[in-house]
Amino acid sequence: MSSHPPDLKYILDSSLVSTINTKKLLTTFERVCRKVGAKNHRESIRDLVTYEMIDGMRTTVELEGVNAYVEGGLFSLRLIHLLELLGAKTCYINVTEEKHRLRPNYSEILKALRRLYTLYEIYADKLDIRYKFLGEAESAQYPLSEEDHKFMEDLKVLEEKTRNNNSFTACFLINYSLEWAMQNMSLFETLPDINVIIRHTKLQIPTGMMLPPLKSDYTSLVYVQQGALSRTWTDYQLLCLAALALRSMLLNRGTQYVKAYDPKEKDKIRIKREVEAVFVHKQLFEARGELQPCSMEKGLYGIKRAILGTPFGPEVYEF
């Protein structure tokens, strides 16, 4: 689209997606799944539907303005790429909630999205990705500029262009609110329910950012202490994140509302939770250079820490 050409030099310098050896990636994923106890990963990954709440754009690295938000878009695309290769079918990504329009730097977020538009368009063709954009394009309470309004229309064009792609569906929440979603439930009818929320930097989930109960009632939470910026995550770390989301889904599946306990299971949970006060802390580090992205700046990969909630207690993983 001529209205938002990509900054190709920035994208190339950012090394968006590494040249991934798919066989090595799948082998490594199997090994990580064994380490964290995510069983039957080949079959269960198809059921995994994550809701990625990206955050940390302004505080994770010393980037300013548009460039920081571009990093969030690159992180999201790498994660989509990875999930598609592993065999997942759908993910949701929160980009902006309606109240973000009140922020003085809101225009920088949309400028970053415009910069990445063509890149996302290319990857939709390359990976057979279907895009869905969920949110209010225009609001009397939070009016958009003419340029931003045109961009929201362009997103609908991209959605229509990709509607017949079926390898993977990526749902983006832009200018979203739960109130808007509840008034437009027909848009969600053909979309799958989420089962894992991945929340970066803040151990909280604002109500306005949630999906409608019919789409989110049976979810578990994975909290990630670090921000969602592409240049701070290796491919191996993204792989660990996917494996931990899978473990969270499997551990917490069926524990809400109608769960019934047999006597042995009840005693096991009570002892682990109340008597032993189980607290799991594991490290998933591997050999230096394992599945590193190509041409990334060196020295930016810090330790990542994720916390899972389980029926027995918290589990902390570092990778």
**Would 60 be classed as within a structural domain?**
yes
Structure-token match 């991209």, residue found: 158
**Would 3 be classed as within a structural domain?**
no
How would residue 103 be classed by pLDDT, with cut points 50, 70 and 90? confident
**Would 23 be classed as within a structural domain?**
yes
Give the β-pairing of 168-173 and 129-134: parallel
Given a contact cutoff of 8 angstroms between Cβ atoms, the answer to whether 4 and 118 are in contact is yes
**Would 2 be classed as within a structural domain?**
no
Would you say residue 10 has pLDDT above 60? no
Would you say residue 166 has pLDDT above 80? yes
CA distance 285 to 237: 9
The pLDDT of residue 287: 62
**Would 297 be classed as within a structural domain?**
yes
Residues 267-279 pLDDT 10s: 999 999 999 999 9
**Would 56 be classed as within a structural domain?**
yes
Provide the token pair at 238.
């993204």
Residues 207-262 pLDDT 10s: 999 999 999 999 999 999 999 999 899 889 999 999 999 999 999 998 988 888 89
Give the β-pairing of 196-200 and 220-224: parallel
CA distance 221 to 212: 16
Residues 60-87 pLDDT 10s: 888 888 999 999 999 999 999 999 999 9
Q: What is the DSSP letter of 261?
A: -
**Would 87 be classed as within a structural domain?**
yes
Residue 142: give its domain's CATH number. 3.40.1180.10
Structurally, the chain folds into a number of domains equal to: 1
Q: Say which residues have a Cβ less than 8 Å from residue 83's Cβ, sequence separation at least 6.
A: 48, 50, 91, 168, 242
Residues 147-159 pLDDT 10s: 888 898 999 999 9
Quote the domain boundaries for residue 36. 8-318
**Would 48 be classed as within a structural domain?**
yes
Given a contact cutoff of 8 angstroms between Cβ atoms, the answer to whether 152 and 175 are in contact is yes
Structure-token match 């003419």, residue found: 146
> Exposure string (b/e) for 233-266, b if CB count within 10 Å is 16 or more?
bbbbbbbbbbbbbbbbbbbbeeeeeeeeeeeeee
* Closest by CA position to 135, among listed 180, 91, 189: 180
